[in-house]
A and B are shown apart, each in its own frame.
Chain A
Amino acid sequence: METNIWQEILEFFQTMGFMQMGADFFGTGWQQLVMLFISFFLLYLAIKKQYEPLLLLPIAFGMLLTNLPGAGMFHSELWDAFLNPDSPYYHSYGAILKNGGLLDVLYIGVKAGVYPCLIFIGVGAMTDFGPLIANPKSLLLGAAAQIGIFLTFLCANAMGFTEAEAGSIGIIGGADGPTSIFLTSRLAPHLLGPIAIAAYSYMALVPVIQPPIMRALTTKAERAIKMKQLRAVSKTEKIVFPIMVATVVALILPDAAPLIGCLMLGNLMKECGVVDRLSKTAQNELMNIVVIFLGLSVGATATGPSFLNLKTLMILAMGIVAFGCGSAGGVLLAKLMNVFSKEKINPLIGSAGVSAVPMAARVSQQVGQEENPGNFLLMHAMGPNVAGVIGSAVAAGILLSMLG
Chain B
Amino acid sequence: MIMLATNWTHVWMVTILGFCLVFLLLVVLIYILKLFGFIMRPRIKVAKPTEVHEAVGAPRKETSESITLTAEATAAIATALHLYYNGVHDEEPTQVTIKKIERRYSPWNSKLYGMNNLHRN
Contact = CB atoms under 8 A, between A and B. Distances in A.
Interface of A: 132-134, 136-137, 139-140, 142-144, 146-147, 150-151, 153-154, 157-158, 160, 163, 166-167, 228-229, 231-234, 236-237, 240-241, 244-245, 248-249, 252-253, 376, 387, 390-391, 394-395, 398-399, 402-403
Given A158-B3, A234-B42, A252-B28, A136 B33 contact: yes
Q: State the 4 A-B residue pairs at the shortest beta-carbon distance, nearest first.
A: A136-B33, A160-B2, A143-B26, A139-B26
A163 B10 contact: yes
Given A140-B27, A146-B19, A394-B25, A240 B36 contact: yes
A237 to B, nearest CB: 5
A116 B93 CA distance: 59
Contact of A245 (B15, B29, B40): B29
Interface in B22-55: 22-23, 25-30, 32-34, 36-37, 40-42
A402 B18 contact: yes
A229 B37 contact: no
Given A158-B3, A244-B36, A252-B25, A163 B19 contact: no
A253 B17 CA distance: 14
Contacts of A232: 42
19 contacts: A133-B36, A134-B37, A136-B34, A139-B30, A140-B27, A143-B23, A143-B27, A150-B14, A160-B3, A163-B7, A166-B11, A228-B68, A228-B70, A240-B40, A248-B29, A248-B32, A253-B25, A394-B21, A402-B18
A231 B30 contact: no
B6 interface: yes
Contact of A402 (B14, B32, B69, B70): B14
B64 to A, nearest CB: 14
Contact of B41 (A132, A166, A234): A234
A133 B68 contact: no
DSSP class of B's interface residues: helix, strand, loop or mixed? helix
B14 A133 contact: no
B43 to A, nearest CB: 9
Contact of B19 (A150, A231, A234, A403): A150
A231 B41 contact: yes
Contacts of B7: 163
Given A160-B3, A245-B29, A394-B26, 17 more contacts: A132-B33, A136-B29, A136-B34, A139-B29, A143-B27, A150-B14, A157-B11, A163-B11, A229-B70, A229-B71, A252-B25, A376-B71, A391-B22, A391-B26, A398-B22, A402-B14, A402-B18
B74 interface: yes
B94 to A, nearest CB: 41
Contacts of B23: 140, 143-144
A403 B71 contact: no
A52 B40 CA distance: 38
B24 to A, nearest CB: 9
A147 B19 contact: yes
Contacts of B21: 253, 394, 398
A228 B26 CA distance: 23
A248 B28 contact: yes
Contact of B15 (A153, A160, A391): A153
Contact of B37 (A237, A252, A399): A237
A154 B6 CA distance: 11
